[in-house]
Each structure stands twice: as structure tokens, then as C-alpha cells.
């Protein structure tokens, strides 16, 4: 018995030694990777347009980022683009104060970003701005598929190698190749945007040759669940991340952006490997986080990696006090800019009216577009779903309500028939075909029973309101009792001139639309994408918001009026539908 006990003790000791040796051999290292995306200028916890406090901003994001760094010193901070458009915080330093260090650059350097990918709205700011940011950032700005036409090499850095705590991480950047569908060529002169899958296939061997422990995709392109099994690539499709994830083995994690949606899921690619997919939403409201454990032992020649994703809710964290204090001077400068009085309005105007017929809000834009261009016809849409400009003093911040994006203003050449087709396409995305007065007029999101989907007490439009173009300069009706494609009847020009379907006219339209955005010209009118450029007669040098602001400054007092040059018919049906659907959209009667 004594001999057996001795043998047992020796066996236990040997087992313990074996376990300890095994643990030392199969050591592990951990790292956390954080992604922000589509910040759209939400830096400080204040909305400089609506002039109200925000519960999410980069200031609160930094509180969480500092927490992670304190708890786990091994972390990487990435950004996925679309930061240079949205709030006056960035517009001011893009175009007004171009001498001081850019506010966003100072902020991101202070926060300690390791790498970033350029977004389409960053490109929208123009060469002068994003070229400047490349110089001011203390980290690389990437986009492997944005290629310099002269050299054939990436205009931005294609990928970055980051080493933290002995962990070698490769971060590869791609931007949505659909940029030419929306932006004027002047904004990306000398750059062409290549297919995402082809570019990733080209660079993956180069990246793997670096022998990284982890390969990350940082794509300013959305995660489209309808294309999870996609085995093909579409160079014009804006949300092509799933095609890359499936077709290009080698990625461990892919961070997405652009579509403002949240994603946290695992996906099996064509090689049978699991890829972690994450998307941190938009406007500083979320942070996407990947927690990674890398084991030193290998199975069948491959390192074993454990991946866990989580989405952090930024409003759960208070703004970092040191952050707020550091950027107090910029806050003051921006506040002075947006509060500057540029004129007076004799009436309150709201974008809410624009969904049910003519509105003073849209017609203010239409009138200015016609005045600037001298065009025969103007097209415009509500760029913000629900905003208003109050009667009384008008400030610079009101211009961001009236005109949300930094679009140029084009004058284009269209025939009368093409103008009609354009409007038919616009209203087909906006209005249902009604068979009786009780039918839904607006295209709302509906459930399986055909009833409006209600979220937080309100219904939602099926399509984006910034594609709901109406026209000024012509008198016309839209008959919702008729099928799509045969609703619009143009009677004449509003000044009494005869409207002719075969005659060419000058049309004022924003550059997003003029470059094919929304599909009005390509799908609706039938103009080929590569022919659109030949239809542009003139373009403004600066964004339309700037010209609207200058126009109001010159007039000093504006009197917003509804042009009443078009209407939806049958009128009784429209009145009935409007009285039902207005409260559905906005939670209140008119």
C-alpha cells in the first residue's frame, strides 16, 4: 500500500509538471481593437445645428477608450471614415478657418488613433481638405482601392502594420467604390476607385508576407446581409464588404462603416474560416470592439485565435472632462460662427409639409437655385427628414437645417420628356398608387399585413426623403390614382411659356443628383452614367449652402412662400390621406 501511495504521489507530481509545461508552451496574448465610424462631425457633446446637448460624442467615446486602455494596455484604436461632413464643427475648419490646425485632426491625434480609412463624405470635402488631413493626422489614412491614375498606386496608404505588446496586426483599408455615383470628379481629380474584391485579392498576399498575427479589414462600406453568400463582386455597389469577406480569405476581423447600421456577427468565408464582422453605427453613438486572444500553439500549422465582438453604447459614459477642457477654445469659435445672424425670416418653415405637397421650406431652396443658375426648372428635396426654421432671426446654424450636405449646384441640359421621366421616378419612390381614399398615400415601411410599422410611436418612410425631388419653374400634377410612370402631367412653365417634350431646357439640380445619386437620371430618365458629365453646363465653385447663406445675407429679410406650382390629385383623397399619415410620421397633427 505504501508503495502504491508513493507511486500515486509521483504520478500526480508528473501530471502537474506536464500541465505547467503545457501552459508555458501554449501561452496566449490578448488585445482589444476599437472602431469608431461615420462620426459626421459629432465631436463635442453639443448639436451646433439644433443648439442642444447631445448624450453621445467623441468626448464620451474617449471616456470609454481611456477605460479600456487602463484595464488592458494592449489596444488599438481605428476609425472608418465619414467624419468631415455633418456638424459645423468640421465644416468650419474645412472651409472657413483653413489656417488653424483642423479641429478633427487635433481631436483624433489627442485620442491616439492608430489608423483610419477615408470615407466618401471625407472625399466630398475636396482635395484641399483631405490632403491636408493626411498631413495633419499622426496616423495613416488608408484606402487601397483609391488609386492614383498617374502612378497606378494607392493615393492613400493601402494598409498599416501596428505592433502592440508583441502582437503584429495588419490593418487593410477600403472605401466604397460607388463614390463616382455621387460626387463631382473635381473632388477626387486624379483618383479612380477600384473594385473592392479585386483590390483585396491583390493586396492580401502582400499583407500575409508581413507575417502578421492578425489581419483586419477596415472598410468604409456596409455589411449587406442579403449578400452574405455573395460569390461575386459589383464594382458600383456601395456596400460590398460581404463580397470581400466571402471571396478573400485571410481576414480575421472586418470592421464596416458607411451604412450607419450596427453589426456584430461571425461569418464563414469561402475557405471555411470564421471572420468576425463589426460595425459601430454612426455619429459617435456606438463603438465596435473586438476582443482577441492569440494562442502561441498551432493546430495544423495555424495559430489559434479567439474572437469576441461587442457593441459599446457611448451614451452610457459621461464626456471626458479633460477632453472638454482641452477643446474649449474651438467650442467657443464654432459657437460664435453658428450663432452669427445672417438675416430675418417673416415666417416659420418646416420640412414636414414637403411630403404632402408644395412647401415653403423646399421652395426657398428652389427659388434660390433658379436665381443662381437662371435655369428653366429646378429640382430639390428635403435633405433632412424633420427640421424647421423659426420666424425671426436666421443664423448660420439654420443653413445646416435647410441644406444638410455640401453639394455643389449644377445646371444641366434635359429635354421636356426627360424632365417628366425624372419626376415620375421621384414620385414612384415617394407615393403609392391609391385605389380609394382610405389607402396609404406615402410609401411607408409596412408589415406583413400591409399596415405601417410603428417604432417609438411613429411610422417610417420606406425610402430616404432626400430622394423625394419636386420641381419648380413648371406647373404640373401628380395623379396617385394612376400607376407609376404615368402620373405626372406637366401643363406649362410657371411664367406661362409653353412646355415642349422635345425641346432642351436648363435644369438646376444638386451635384449628388447630377452625378447619378438616387438613380433619377440613370434609372429614371435612362441616361447612361458615363454620359451624365456631358449634360452638365455649369457648376458652382462652392457648396450650395454657402450661396444660400450669401443670398439671405444680401436680402436681409426673407419672406418664405409656397410656390404652389404642383399638386397631388385627386385632392379629396390627398386631404384624407394627409390627415391620417401626418400624425403617423410626426406623432402630432398639423
Residues in the chain: 590
The CATH homologous superfamily to which domain 341-586 belongs is: 5'-Nucleotidase, C-terminal domain (3.90.780.10)
Which pLDDT belongs to residue 587? 87
Residue 451 DSSP one-character state: P
Give me the residue spans of the domains in the chain: 26-334, 341-586
Which pLDDT belongs to residue 73? 76
Note whether 56 and 316 are within 8 A (CB).
no
Which pLDDT belongs to residue 237? 79
Positive or negative CA dihedral for 406, 409, 415, 420? Answer: positive
Which pLDDT belongs to residue 428? 98
Note whether 473 and 368 are within 8 A (CB).
no
Which residues are within 8 A (CB) of 124 and not within 5 positions of it... i.e. 6 or more apart? 84, 85, 182, 183, 187, 405, 406
Strand, helix or coil at 446?
strand
With 0-12 CB in 10 A as exposed, 13-18 as middle and 19+ as buried, what is 209? exposed
Say how far apart CA 25 and CA 419 lie, in whole Å.
Answer: 72
Q: Which is nearest to 521 in space by CA: 403, 384, 379?
A: 379
Which pLDDT belongs to residue 421? 98
Which pLDDT belongs to residue 9? 56
Other CB atoms within a 10 A radius of the CB of residue 164 amount to 16
Which pLDDT belongs to residue 254? 98
Helix (H) or strand (E) holding 430: none
Note whether 512 and 543 are within 8 A (CB).
no
Which pLDDT belongs to residue 519? 95
Residue with cell 507575417: 211
Which pLDDT belongs to residue 17? 43
Tell me the CATH class for 26-334: alpha beta
* Residue stretches of the chain with pLDDT short of 70: 1-26, 225-236, 300-301
Q: Both ends of the chain: CA-CA distance in Å?
A: 94
Say how far apart CA 323 and CA 333 lie, in whole Å.
Answer: 16
Amino acid at each position: 500500500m505504501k508503495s502504491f501511495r508513493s507511486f500515486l504521489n509521483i504520478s500526480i507530481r508528473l501530471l502537474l509538471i506536464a500541465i505547467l509545461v503545457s501552459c508555458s508552451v501554449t501561452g496566449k496574448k490578448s488585445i482589444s481593437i476599437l472602431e469608431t465610424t461615420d462620426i459626421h462631425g459629432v465631436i463635442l457633446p453639443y448639436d451646433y445645428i439644433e443648439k442642444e446637448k447631445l448624450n453621445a460624442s467623441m468626448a464620451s467615446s474617449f471616456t470609454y477608450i481611456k477605460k479600456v486602455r487602463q484595464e488592458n494596455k494592449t489596444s488599438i484604436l481605428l476609425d472608418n471614415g465619414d467624419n468631415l461632413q455633418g456638424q459645423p464643427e468640421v465644416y468650419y475648419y474645412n472651409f472657413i478657418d483653413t489656417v488653424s490646425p483642423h479641429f478633427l485632426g487635433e481631436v483624433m491625434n489627442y485620442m491616439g488613433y492608430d489608423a483610419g480609412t477615408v470615407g466618401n463624405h471625407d472625399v466630398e470635402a475636396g482635395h484641399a481638405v483631405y490632403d491636408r488631413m493626411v498631413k495633419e493626422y499622426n496616423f495613416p489614412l488608408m484606402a487601397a482601392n483609391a488609386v492614383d491614375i498617374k502612378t497606378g498606386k494607392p493615393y492613400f496608404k493601402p494598409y498599416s502594420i501596428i505592433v502592440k505588446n508583441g502582437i503584429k496586426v495588419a490593418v487593410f483599408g477600403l472605401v466604397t467604390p460607388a463614390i463616382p455615383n455621387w460626387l463631382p470628379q473635381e473632388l477626387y481629380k486624379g483618383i479612380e476607385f477600384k473594385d473592392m474584391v479585386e483590390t483585396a485579392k491583390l493586396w492580401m498576399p502582400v499583407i500575409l508576407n508581413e507575417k502578421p498575427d492578425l489581419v483586419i479589414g477596415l472598410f468604409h462600406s456596409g455589411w449587406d446581409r442579403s449578400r452574405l453568400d455573395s460569390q461575386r463582386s459589383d464594382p458600383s455597389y456601395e456596400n460590398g464588404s460581404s463580397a470581400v469577406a466571402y471571396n478573400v480569405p485571410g481576414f480575421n476581423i472586418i470592421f464596416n462603416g458607411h451604412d450607419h447600421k450596427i453589426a456584430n456577427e461571425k461569418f464563414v468565408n469561402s475557405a471555411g474560416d470564421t471572420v468576425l464582422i463589426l460595425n459601430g453605427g454612426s455619429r459617435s453613438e456606438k463603438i465596435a470592439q473586438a476582443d482577441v486572444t492569440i494562442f502561441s500553439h498551432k493546430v495544423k500549422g495555424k495559430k489559434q485565435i479567439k474572437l469576441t465582438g461587442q457593441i459599446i453604447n457611448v451614451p452610457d459614459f459621461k464626456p471626458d472632462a479633460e477632453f472638454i477642457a482641452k477643446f474649449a477654445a474651438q467650442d467657443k469659435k464654432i459657437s460664435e460662427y453658428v450663432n452669427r445672424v445672417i438675416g430675418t425670416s417673416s415666417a416659420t418653415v418646416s420640412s414636414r409639409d414637403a411630403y404632402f405637397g408644395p412647401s415653403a421650406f423646399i421652395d426657398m431652396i428652389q427659388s434660390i437655385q433658379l436665381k443662381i443658375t437662371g435655369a428653366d426648372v429646378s429640382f430639390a428635396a428635403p435633405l433632412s427628414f424633420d427640421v424647421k426654421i423659426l420666424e425671426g432671426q436666421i443664423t448660420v446654424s439654420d443653413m445646416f437645417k435647410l441644406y444638410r450636405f455640401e453639394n455643389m449646384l449644377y445646371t444641366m441640359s434635359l429635354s421636356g420628356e426627360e424632365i417628366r421621366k425624372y419626376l415620375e421616378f421621384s414620385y414612384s419612390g415617394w407615393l403609392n398608387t391609391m385605389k380609394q381614399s382610405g389607402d396609404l398615400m406615402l410609401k411607408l415601411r409596412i408589415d406583413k399585413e400591409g399596415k405601417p410599422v410603428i417604432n417609438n410611436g411613429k411610422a417610417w418612410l420606406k425610402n430616404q426623403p432626400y430622394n423625394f425631388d419636386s420641381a419648380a419653374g413648371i406647373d404640373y400634377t401628380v395623379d396617385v390614382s394612376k400607376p407609376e410612370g404615368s402620373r405626372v402631367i406637366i401643363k406649362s412653365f410657371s411664367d406661362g411659356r409653353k412646355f415642349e417634350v422635345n425641346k432642351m431646357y436648363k435644369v438646376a439640380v444638386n451635384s449628388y443628383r447630377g452625378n447619378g445619386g438616387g438613380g433619377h437620371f440613370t434609372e429614371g430618365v435612362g441616361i447612361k452614367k458615363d454620359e451624365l458629365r456631358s449634360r452638365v453646363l455649369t457648376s458652382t465653385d462652392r457648396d450650395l449652402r454657402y450661396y444660400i447663406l450669401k443670398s439671405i445675407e444680401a436680402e436681409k429679410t426673407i419672406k418664405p412662400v409656397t410656390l404652389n406650382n404642383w399638386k397631388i390629385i385627386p385632392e379629396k383623397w390627398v386631404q384624407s390621406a394627409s390627415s391620417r399619415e401626418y400624425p403617423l410620421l410626426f406623432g402630432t397633427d398639423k
